[in-house]
Amino acid sequence: MKEVRIIKTKIEVISVFLNKIATAITVFLMAFLCVLIFVSVFWRFVLNNPIVWQYETTLLCLSWVVYIGMSMTFKSKEHMSLTFVTNALKPKVRVIWLNVIDIVCIVFLIIGVIAGTSVVNSTWSNYYLTLPFIRKSFFYMAFPIGCSISIIHLINNIYTRDVASVAIRGSDEVEQLAKMSKEV
């Protein structure tokens, strides 16, 4: 039992650390994208001199924002889901149901890591035309890295999920839905 607690603690620490890094990367890239797109529009329409590397840089940054952001949604348990099925279940069954969903997601993400790594390896020798110092594989690398971080977050979710936390979450949602239906 002590070993399980140690593993839980270590996974939680790793999950929190990776989420902080993911948040910092996402915030930086979003700020960079805002500045880059603003400057690009100014240069294109005011100075009549478009920035040639802007498009590929934007695509590269957006891929990282999307797939690193995906891992952040798994950490905060805010990914898309149909909660009407989950909320209809009793708390003990709900824990099992949510764990099964997370395990299915982990299987998909493992396949994503394997396939994504294959794509990264196959594009390693290709470079962008307007960014000759950046390999095209960096664009594709965001997917297996985002999947890997997501796997850690999902494992942490499974370890930290218990009946009490699920029951409270479910009952709050049911109460909110009931309150909303009365207002309408």
What is the per-residue DSSP string for 35-91? HHHHHHHHHHHTSS---TTHHHHHHHHHHHHHHHHHHHHHHTT-S---HHHHHTS-H
pLDDT(76) > 70:
yes
- In this structure, what token pair is assigned to residue 12? 């939680």
On average, the pLDDT of the chain sits at 87
Confidence band for 175, pLDDT divided at 50, 70 and 90: low
% residues pLDDT > 90 (the chain):
51
Measure the CA–CA gap between 53 and 139, rounded to whole angstroms. Answer: 14
Number of domains comprising the chain: 1
- Give me Rg for the CA atoms of the chain: 21
Measure the CA–CA gap between 117 and 68, rounded to whole angstroms. Answer: 16
pLDDT(41) > 80:
yes
pLDDT(173) > 60:
no
% residues pLDDT > 70 (the chain):
88
Beta bridge partners of 135: 127
Confidence band for 109, pLDDT divided at 50, 70 and 90: very high
For 125-135, what is the mean pLDDT?
85
Answering whether pTM is above 0.75, one says yes
- In this structure, what token pair is assigned to residue 138? 């960096």
Confidence band for 176, pLDDT divided at 50, 70 and 90: low
- In this structure, what token pair is assigned to residue 83? 């909660």
Confidence band for 78, pLDDT divided at 50, 70 and 90: confident
DSSP 124-140: TT-B-SS-TTSBTHHHH
* 134 vs 164, residue with greater confidence: 134
Q: Which domain holds residue 88?
A: 2-183
Residue keyed to tokens 């099925």: 85
The interaxial angle of helices 137-160 and 54-75, nearest 10 deg, is 10
